[in-house]
Amino acid sequence: MADLWQEAMDHAVAVARKAGEIVRHAVHNDMKVLCKSSSVDLVTKTDQKVEQLIIDSVKEKFPKHGFIGEESVAAGEPCVLSDNPTWIVDPVDGTTNFVHGYPFVAVCIGFAVNKTLEFGVVYSCIEDKMYTARRGKGAFCNGDPLQVSDQKEINQSIIATEFGSNRDPEVVDVIFSNMRKILCLPVHGIRGAGSAAINMCMVASGCVEAYYEIGIHCWDIAAAAVIVEEAGGVLMDFEGGPMDLMSRRIIAANNKTIAERIVNEIKAYPAIRDDAPL
Ligand code: IPD
Ligand code: CA
Ligand code: CA
Ligand code: CA
């Protein structure tokens, strides 16, 4: 199967580049913004068009493979990770950035077999940075190898997180209380790119020590998860065990010491799973 997965990865890189070109050209053009679950959960025609392009192109080459795509799930498709080879697609990660022309927007394609992520492709298309990783073969940005930071002291670290799109005051309180705890450790700084995948690629690149978020989905993190691990980083659940892709929460860190330090500081609010029955 090894070569077949390489063929799949090469295809993912090619289609991500094509999709990224469409996204890049659509910034400031063709910007009809719609709302999904709330007025801050945005979607555009470009999100939908790009997801369709990726799925059509993959289906033509790998007709038996399964898909989980953000906009397909929004349209009623199931979000179930089976043992079947499955492509996990976020056509535009950072839609709010895209709508505002804030230049951190990524096309994300992850690929899992037997529920294990085998490769990930994150194309930060405005910056023209292609992040790629295949399990066991390292992580790269535009072909250059990536390595996480070796920092073990959280008070010498930058931590990334996001506000997400839940504006329920109780949820917002948890987000701020978590940020307050992290900030007061003290850390050097808190950052948020507005794209889960780009935050994770920053961890993989060694310029941010960790990223955590509650409320994300499997398509936000699947591709970048492989990139973080292959750059030497770790993925952890808020309770300290291994990250569960469908659990809607993640800590991605340069090492276990920093990840566990975050686990000790922050708490999660209940979030329904991606694969919860409808
Ligand atoms: C969002 C971005 C954002 C994160 C949200 C995600 P989208 O993805 O990754 O940074 O805070 O939780 O939903 O909707 O732009 O693909
Ligand atoms: Ca979205
Ligand atoms: Ca996303
Ligand atoms: Ca998206």
Cβ neighbours of 77 (radius 10 Å): 13
ipTM of the complex: 0.98
Condensed to tens digits (0 to 9), the pLDDT of residues 158-167 reads 999 999 999 9
In this structure, which ligand is nearest to the CA of 69? 4
Select from 3.40.190.10, 2.40.50.100, 3.30.70.3340, 3.30.540.10 the CATH code of 2-145.
3.30.540.10
pLDDT at 1: 58
Domain boundaries, the chain: 2-145, 154-265
Which residues are known binding-site members for Mg(2+)? 70, 90, 93, 220
Question: pTM surpassing 0.90?
Answer: yes
Ligand 4 is an ion; residues with CB less than 5 A from it: 70, 90, 92
State the average pLDDT for the chain: 96
Q: How many CA atoms lie within 13 A of 29 on its CB side?
A: 5
Does 2-145 match 154-265 in CATH topology?
Answer: no
Mean pLDDT for 108-133 is 98
In this structure, which ligand is nearest to the CA of 201? 1
CATH code at 154-265: 3.40.190.80
Condensed to tens digits (0 to 9), the pLDDT of residues 20-70 reads 999 999 997 867 888 998 889 889 999 999 999 999 999 999 999 999 999
The residue contributing the CA closest to ligand 1 atom 11 is: 164
Instruction: List pocket residues of ligand 1, CB cut-off 6 Å.
Output: 70, 90, 92-95, 162, 164, 194-196, 213, 215-216, 220
CA of 3 to the centre of ligand 2 (A): 33
Residue-by-residue DSSP string for 64-130 = T-EEEEHHHHHTT------SS-EEEEEEEE-HHHHHHT-S--EEEEEEEETTEEEEEEEEETTTTEE
